[in-house]
Chain A
């Protein structure tokens, strides 16, 4: 079947999609957007986290056909999205959350990073100054095998502080 939806502000069409196929598969294998990672395909790891009409979801658990007509945001579109949200026209820059992950050393192998970035960015959009408990809660669906999470928490705090100072 054919599925049409908007990804990172661009209208995309995918053809010959199998009816039982996940949104994650379509993004990675049909639309050339491998940023969202595929690790477990069962909703446990969060490395495939994208926003579907604004809501963070596991792309591996959304059937491609369910995304028909919707707006999807993946890590590839995060910088643009954050820029538009803040109204600051600085092209070719990472989003504040991405910068903070880099600076805090929250990225090791990087496999979990795209999902965490999308989830953390959405948290800060909703709640610009989250408590530690709120950060842990918002990121409870994203597993990381490398960092031990402390640096990830540092990064989210850093991004929140950075935004607060501006």
Chain B
């Protein structure tokens, strides 16, 4: 085995171009388990942990550029104001030790349907910045997941960063698991309200072969909010709307039975989470408010 440890990003891209089969290594919380158990014996490991660019967060008014290797702990501590949904999701990952190493870049690299970052990224409308010596691609996150544990990266590409608009409205994340810490999601749900574009976006984890959105549900809720003047008034929205939204979210799932839960349970849980996250999010919505910083006390904080 070969261990490559580029000191900079250009060097890493060159190494990946030269060794397309090299396995990138960030926090190692997925890869090292596979190595320790002999499930994987890559010819080359490409350690990205020394590359400062991947640990950087750049904030502008229109985007947060989250370096691929920024650990969850920093997202929770530093980015809850601009990426509230992702911060809530990050907060539920593993344990402090896992959050100190694990990264969104690694979550995307593994592209497990159970990865907790995915629903939050889908709901927020994130873009994956994939780069190679050939250039940069900005991939909308919903196009990034191509199959069970498969993603859209070409073999010479690495993830440089994830770009997300700073939240302009409430975001929520909810996860069903067997306990509060160190639990892989049975299923998860994220919701983001985007008052600027008067849209609603969702993300569902562990309830289909890939993380997915619920487009019909989003469209339905967006239309109701728009036509009812709710974005302007901030008035309570009839409970029937929440029920219909939740049903459409459940219908967007394509779950399987496995050791963590049955397909029917997952569908049910997504319905419940969709309804709750919507109620939490709407309770935190104030017309005209640029941003809501402290919503979601009952959720994954």
Contact = CB atoms under 8 A, between A and B. Distances in A.
B98 A43 contact: yes
Interface centre among A1, A18, A43, A60 (most CB of B within 10 A): A43
B97 A46 contact: yes
A58 B98 CA distance: 7
Given A20-B41, A63-B47, A68-B5, A138 B29 contact: no
Contacts of B94: 43, 141
A140 B32 contact: no
Interface in A1-56: 1, 18-20, 22, 41-44, 46, 49, 55-56
B3 A140 contact: no
A23 to B, nearest CB: 9
A137 B93 CA distance: 12
A61 B99 CA distance: 12
A77 interface: no
Given A61-B101, A63-B45, A140 B182 contact: yes
Contacts of A141: 94-98, 181-182
A1 B180 CA distance: 40
A140 B28 contact: no
A62 interface: yes
Contacts of A65: 3, 5, 45, 47
A57 interface: yes
B97 A66 contact: no
Interface string B85-102: 000000000111110110
Interface centre among B2, B35, B47 (most CB of A within 10 A): B35
A119 interface: yes
B154 interface: no
A43 B42 CA distance: 20
A132 B45 CA distance: 41
Contact of A63 (B25, B98, B100, B182): B25
Nearest to B27: A61
Contact of B28 (A1, A19, A63, A68): A63
B96 A138 contact: yes
A57 B2 CA distance: 24
Given A1-B3, A22-B36, A46-B95, A57 B45 contact: no
Contacts of B181: 137, 140-141
For the complex of A and B, 9 pairs with smallest distance between CB atoms? A141-B95, A140-B181, A19-B1, A19-B3, A41-B36, A61-B32, A20-B35, A141-B97, A65-B3
6 contacts: A1-B3, A20-B41, A42-B33, A58-B97, A60-B32, A68-B5
Given A44-B182, A57-B101, 8 more contacts: A46-B95, A56-B100, A58-B29, A61-B33, A61-B98, A62-B32, A66-B5, A141-B95
